[in-house]
Amino acid sequence: MSGRLHYPAGMSAPEPDPQRMEAVVALCKRRGFVFPSAEIYGGFRSTYDYGPLGVQLLRNVKEAWWRSMVQLRDDVVGLDAAILGPPDIWRASGHLATFTDPLVDCRSCQQRWRADHLEPAEDGKVHCPSCGSTDLTEPRDFNLMFKTHTGPVAEEGSVAYLRPETAQGMFVNFKNVLQTTRKKPPFGIAQVGKSFRNEITPGNYVFRTREFEQMELEFFVPPADAPKWFDHWVDERHRWYVDLGIPEDQLRIRPHDPEELSHYSAGTSDIEFLFPFGWGELEGIANRTDFDLKAHAAASGESLDYFDQAANERYVPYVIEPAAGATRSMMAFLVAAYDTDEIGGEARTVLRLHPRLAPYKVAVLPLSKKEALTPLAREVLGLLQPRLVCDYDDTQSIGRRYRRQDEVGTPLCVTVDFDSLEDRAVTIRDRDTTEQVRVPIDALGKEVVDRLAG
């Protein structure tokens, strides 16, 4: 809930790079990654739709997270809880009382701002960022949750909230999961899904939106082991971004100052990325203690503790929570991958996305549109498509098609030419090196999979 961009003492803000940001945003629009929502009606308040390539990229980010957090571990299980929830959940979790941002109004131009985003100017006064006026109201607490009603009557008893985080779904299902999976602490519950916050000042493209996707793990541990697991998850999560291609010098881990900690946290570290507008949070790793389970146990009357038979001891587990944003991470991967270089004297734009994240893994390109090549090119596509998300493109010159694939990050192009009809071999072209090798169609599947993995 802090949302500020932080610079440690002695470190100045990095130079903002608006051109890089503009180039990424333009590419996203031009090639169908991200569209402003309801664009034909003039757009809708910092809301975005994910286009044909964006939906693939976003799915791949979420899939890479699920793979590392659930599939490759035997101590984490998944969950997909409801988005709508009763006030009981949010009262117990503290969100009704404390999930607020301080809001100030400009009396001059009526715009609203987050008080904690405004710094005094050189004259020592806080100015409205829009009109410059210093006539601002005192900060008021503004609850970020979206409130709605279930059923036909909008009365007090039908109030519901759209979840502002996925985490509470894991806490209220703690007992269900414990009983059905027979897991014991240390174990975790993972969830990926939409969350909603009525942000006062959304912006910086998809960095801060009112509707966004989160990837959260609640990892339940014996209280004494919480510090050890906290360190484990900070390391694991940092490595995840690096393994997927974010350069280490564009990432940093920033422990929260005590006054910045959320109401439930005994310690939080953020993983931040150097966005073109400055350092911004990708993920927070928090030691949520036993706050949530105890709060829900007290409010619901259900016991949410764990009996450790071996130690003959009953306790309420502590929770270590790595909470990441899927949409925000997707933006970081795009920014980090964006590059320009020169091939044969010609400028090109290339997204150096990790193959696991690339929207298309392979593009199948018949050298020409001539009918003779179509059946074999389609055969090659049919060979790869069951295993990999592929594109097929037979328009324009081959050079232009390579550029189009480079621009959306496709790691490999497979070209079918007239020799292919004779020797049943095709050319694989690598996005990053632009090197080309000839491979028999019979060996293509394995070669492509090996190259993508390597």
Query: Count of alpha carbons within 13 Å of 347, Cβ hemisphere only?
Result: 3
d(CA 303, CA 305): 6
d(CA 388, CA 116): 46
Reduce the DSSP state of residue 440 to 3 states and report it. Answer: strand
3 binds ligand ATP (CB under 6 A): yes
- At its nearest, how many Å lie between ligand ATP and the CB of residue 335? 14
Pick one of 79, 145, 282, 367: the residue that binds ligand ATP (CB under 6 A): 282
85 binds ligand ATP (CB under 6 A): no
Pick one of 284, 322, 355, 411: the residue that binds ligand ATP (CB under 6 A): 284
Taking contact as CB under 6 A, which single stretch among the options 19-27, 309-317, 322-330, 432-440 is the one that binds ligand ATP?
A: 322-330
Are 353 and 244 in contact by the 8 Å Cβ rule? The answer is no
By beta-carbon proximity to ligand ATP, the closer residue of 202 and 359 is 202
Pick one of 218, 272, 281, 417: the residue that binds ligand ATP (CB under 6 A): 281
Pick one of 327, 405, 410, 420: the residue that binds ligand ATP (CB under 6 A): 327
- At its nearest, how many Å lie between ligand ATP and the CB of residue 169? 14
Q: Before 186, cis peptide (omega within 30)?
A: yes
Tokens of 64: 């890479």
Q: What is the contact mask toward ligand ATP in residues 200 to 229, using x (rule: CB under 6 A)? A: --------xx--x-x---------------
323 binds ligand ATP (CB under 6 A): yes
Strand pairing report for 390-392 and 34-36: unpaired
Strand pairing report for 306-308 and 251-255: unpaired
d(CA 384, CA 320): 41
Amino acid letter, 236: E
324 binds ligand ATP (CB under 6 A): yes
Strand pairing report for 278-289 and 318-325: antiparallel
By beta-carbon proximity to ligand ATP, the closer residue of 165 and 417 is 165
- At its nearest, how many Å lie between ligand ATP and the CB of residue 251? 13
d(CA 180, CA 127): 56
By beta-carbon proximity to ligand ATP, the closer residue of 323 and 412 is 323
Q: How many residues in the shown chain lie near ligand ATP by CB under 6 A? A: 19
Q: From residue 109, give the alpha-carbon distance in Å to each of 113, 135, 136, 215.
A: 11, 10, 10, 38
- At its nearest, how many Å lie between ligand ATP and the CB of residue 436? 39
Give the footprint of ligand ATP on this chain (CB under 6 A): 1-3, 165, 197, 199, 208-209, 212, 214, 281-284, 323-325, 327-328
